[in-house]
Amino acid sequence: MARSNRENAAATRARILTSAQQLIRHRGLHCVTVDDVARAIGMTRGAVYGHFRSRAELLGALLSCAEADFATRLAPLARSGSGPGALERALAALLQGDDLARHVSLLAALLQHKCGDACELCPLRTRVLRAVGTLRATFTELLPAPSLAGLLVAHLWGLLSAHAMHLAPSGLSGCAAALAHLYQGHGVAPDAALSVSLSCRPDATFDPPLVRDTP
């Protein structure tokens, strides 16, 4: 009985997180409340608070999901080291599938957050910045010039953001080889970066972008 209750609680928690993630992706973080999340899955606000004591705790759980996704994708790199092909493997792992794009709206909102009087988001923003720093440090070990690491992180963010808005094709892992060649060969220039982004899947179809009503 206790096991069944735990499983039910875990399933409900997962439903709440999925609802929040989808609403944030379609409407933007600052336009989503706990009431919205509860309403989307037919729950009461009190029932949601039974799993998450505050909106900040709910958002923190979503951020933990994003952190876990990134960590899982980078784990093989830590085991295989920084030998030949390591950069391409890292990029392919990060861009494999479409799952990372689901986190973009949350991460973008936290990065753009400006602290107010009663701030619940600053600690979460700090976590995102720390993770970005870790990713940049990882790429620094794999690139011929440390200064390229920040540019590569920004390039990846642009690809994931475009994909999240349905402005880039699925299957971004097809970009890994081209990106690795571009950055390891020092051939980084705006026109080159654009050509890599557009040539990842030349046969892919594009969907219309999602409309957001964030401020």
- pLDDT for the residue 8: 87
Q: What is the pLDDT of residues 93-126, one digit of tens each?
A: 888 877 888 899 999 999 988 776 668 888 999 9
Helices (H) and strands (E) in the chain, counts: 10, 0
71 neighbors 44 (Cβ within 8 angstroms)? no
**Nearest alpha carbon to residue 209 among 161, 154, 157:** 161
Tell me the backbone φ, ψ of residue 13, rounded to 5 degrees: -60, -40
Q: What is the pLDDT of residues 50-101, one digit of tens each?
A: 999 999 999 999 999 999 998 898 887 777 667 778 899 889 888 887 788 8
- pLDDT for the residue 118: 63
Q: What is the pLDDT of residues 45-54, one digit of tens each?
A: 999 999 999 9
pLDDT band at 185 (very low <50, low <70, confident <90, very high): confident
Instruction: Kindly report which listed range (143-152, 154-163, 177-186, 201-210) carries the lowest average pLDDT score.
Output: 201-210
pLDDT band at 206 (very low <50, low <70, confident <90, very high): very low
Tell me the whole-structure pTM to 2 decimals. Answer: 0.79
- The residue ranges of every structural domain in the chain are 55-198
Tell me the one-letter amino acid at 50: G
- pLDDT for the residue 124: 93
d(CA 14, CA 53): 15
Average pLDDT on 177-202 reads 61
d(CA 24, CA 60): 13
- pLDDT for the residue 188: 53
pLDDT band at 2 (very low <50, low <70, confident <90, very high): low
Q: What is the mean pLDDT of the chain?
A: 81
35 neighbors 45 (Cβ within 8 angstroms)? yes
- pLDDT for the residue 116: 66
